[in-house]
Structure formats: C-alpha cells, structure tokens
Amino acid sequence: MSDRKYRQRGYQDSGDKSKKGGERSGDRPARKDTFGPRPLQMAATRTVSRCSQCGTLLPSQTEVPEKCPKCGFELHSCKQCTYFDPSKRFECMQPVPERIPRKDVKNNCTFYAIRVTTEKETTTPSAAKPADARQAFDALFKD
C-alpha cells in the first residue's frame, strides 16, 4: 500500500521508478566544502572624485583643480562638496551662518571638502586587455 492517501499520480511522482525515494532528477551533486563561510568573490573598490555636473573622473584627490577638465564646472562649489545636502537647512550639513544662493558657482566656504565616493572597480587592467580583436579571438582557442 502507498504511503499517500490517494493513488493518483501527482507532482511528487517522478515517473522513474528505478530511483531511490526522495532523490529527484534535478538535484545537484553534494558540495565538497560545506564547512565554513563561502569565499567572497567581490570586485575591488576604489575611492574617486567625480565632477557633479558631467561625471568625469577627476585626476587627483590631493590637489583639486579649479575647474573640471571636461566641462569647465567650478569644483570649489556647493554641488561638489561633501557636506552638500538639499534636505538640510541652507542645503549644507555644516552650520553655515548664511545661505549661499548659487550652488554651482565658486564660493569661499570654509567647510568645503571635495566629495569622495567609493566605487567598484569594474574595468579590466590594461595589462590584461588584448591589443586587438585578433589577439582576443586567438586567446579563446589557445591550447
């Protein structure tokens, strides 16, 4: 007699009677290393500064140029500052005494610090890139 209440074939019946009970055809083989945490395969990160107007990568974090090399946007402005927050009073996280009306022009704010963000490194190093398409194709079928 069957262990189920009804004799109709259902979603639990696999159609292959030769297999042991409980083992399905779609199961993966057992992992060998099941003890401990999985190894991390995360991309590397880097800290960069970008122009808030056009998104161009700025050359150096130690010496901030006056203007963006691509679009000419003033970099010593509120929009480029770490403390710029449109939801705060005077749109600044620091206690500024008066509001700076234009956020995209150069100002003399004493709290200014260039915005630095952490990004994932998604590009391949230039040493690992092939010089041309033919080399890349040949590298696929190399013995």
**What pLDDT score was predicted for residue 115?**
85
Alpha carbon of 95 to those of 48, 76, 81, 89, 90: distances in Å? 26, 18, 14, 9, 9
**What pLDDT score was predicted for residue 28?**
67
Every domain of the chain and the residues it spans: 44-120
**What pLDDT score was predicted for residue 92?**
87
**What pLDDT score was predicted for residue 128?**
66
Q: CA geometry: angle at 68 spanning 66 and 72, to 5°?
A: 95
117 touches 61 (CB < 8 A): no
CA distance 113 to 2: 74
CA distance 83 to 56: 20
**What pLDDT score was predicted for residue 104?**
83
All residue ranges of the chain with pLDDT < 70 are 1-7, 11-34, 39-40, 61-62, 124-130, 143
**What pLDDT score was predicted for residue 15?**
61
**What pLDDT score was predicted for residue 6?**
67
The one-character DSSP state at 9 is -
Question: What residues have CB less than 8 Å from 44, skipping those under 6 apart?
Answer: 120, 121
**What pLDDT score was predicted for residue 140?**
83
Q: pTM of the prediction?
A: 0.50
77 touches 107 (CB < 8 A): yes
Residue 26 has φ and ψ, to the nearest 5°, of -90, 5
**What pLDDT score was predicted for residue 52?**
83
**What pLDDT score was predicted for residue 121?**
78
